[in-house]
A = this chain, B = another copy of it.
Amino acid sequence: MRKFKSIGIAGLGLLGGSVALAAKSNGLVSEIFGYTRSPETLKRACNLGIVDRPFTDFSEMVKRAEFVFLAGPISVNLEFAKNILKVKPSLLFTDVGSTKKAITDLVEKLFPNGNFFAGSHPMAGSEKRGIDEARKDLFTGRTVIVTPVKNSDTLAVGTIRNFWESIGAKTVIMSAEKHDEICCYTSHLPHLLAFLLVKMIEKKLSDSDVLACMGPGFRDTTRIAASDQEIWAEIFISNKKNMLLAIKNFKLELKQIEQMIEKNDIESLKKWIEKVRQMRNGI
């Protein structure tokens, strides 16, 4: 278990804050550095004791930190990575974004002769957001997908995996491409459909009868529809190719069900649902 003198967190939301808390509570770090664009959030992170040393300049934090986590929205993380190349290309760093190909492609392009980066995607997201929701046990028992890039330093990849495991997570190594394709179906499309389900009742929300008809099914299915717009708009666009294909496949499947309903084809519907039910029970 490698211990760090300092870990720098860029982007102080639920994930960034929780990484800091977990690192501290597991004795992995002496000092947490923090950078974020909003002065209020930076101050709040210090007041909560999550950040020990605030930075108002990202480059300054990069110069001084031993290990940096990029925990901003995807597009901001890309800017952070560009900055790292300029300031300290030998820095050990990772990001915690929900898509991995965009940052992987960038790092491969910017650091063609080797780098100390691998992407991370902790399967521990939440519809909650902000530094006040940070928890030291957010990653306990969760899986973190680690995506090395071409010419990732092997030791660096090991250190990143080791960090996650030292705070109680399991790690799985995967290519960024495969990660983005799979997560499109296990996370991005589910978020899109949850958003759409809530949007569909927009005009009915003032009717108390509608609230009366909401059971636990609706609440669970749409829990993630309370997720942050900055993060999710970027995920959808950043995983555009997979998203558009998934939507296309989804519409084909929906069309089949629509036709079964139209034709009152109850037997086909039953068979289809039974198959799905068994798949779901097997997960």
Where the two chains meet, the residues of A that have a C-beta atom closer than 8 Å to any C-beta of B are: 123-127, 142-143, 145, 172, 174, 178-179, 182-183, 185-187, 189-202, 204-205, 207, 209-230, 232-234, 236-237, 240, 243-244, 246-247, 249-251, 253-254, 257-258, 261-262, 264, 266, 269-277, 279-283
A127: B residues at CB distance < 8 A: 280
Q: Is the CB of A205 within 8 A of B264?
A: no
Query: Given A200-B253, A280-B222, are A213 and B237 also a contact pair (CB < 8 Å)?
Result: no
A205 and B219 alpha carbons, distance in the complex (Å): 26
Q: List 13 A-B contacts (CB under 8 A).
A: A172-B212, A190-B222, A195-B276, A200-B253, A205-B282, A217-B223, A222-B283, A227-B277, A229-B269, A236-B269, A237-B266, A247-B254, A247-B258
Given the known inter-chain contacts A187-B215, A215-B123, A266-B237, please indicate yes or no for A279 contacting B202, CB distance below 8 A.
yes
Q: Is A217 a contact of B276 with CB atoms below 8 Å?
A: no
| Pair B262/A125 contact, Cβ less than 8 Å | no
- Would you call the interface of chain A mostly helix, strand, loop, or mixed? helix
Pick the contact of A220: B197, B205, B224, B254 (CB < 8 A). B224
Alpha-carbon separation in the docked complex, A217 to B222 (Å): 9
Tell me the bound Cα distance from A226 to B283 in angstroms.
Answer: 10
Assembly CA distance A279 to B233 (angstroms): 17
Closest to A269 in B: B233
Which residues of B lie under 8 Å from residue A227 when comparing CB positions? 273, 277
Asked if B279 and A198 make an inter-chain contact with CB atoms under 8 angstroms apart, the answer reads: yes
Interface contact B264-A237, CB-CB below 8 Å: yes
Q: Of B126, B145, B209, B237, which is within 8 A of A212 by CB?
A: B145
Nearest B-chain residue to A211, judged by Cβ: B283
Chain B hits for A178, CB < 8 A? 209
Given contacts A145-B212, A183-B213, A201-B186, contact A226 B273 (CB under 8 A): no
Known: A209-B182, A213-B187, A283-B214. A200 touches B261 (CB 8 A): no
Q: Contacts of A190 on B, CB cut-off 8 Å?
A: 197, 217-218, 221-222
Contact B195 A182 (CB under 8 A): no
- Decide if A186 touches B213 in the complex (CB within 8 Å): yes
Separation in Å of the A199 CB from the closest CB of chain B? 5
Is B228 touching A243 in the complex (CB atoms < 8 A)?
Answer: no
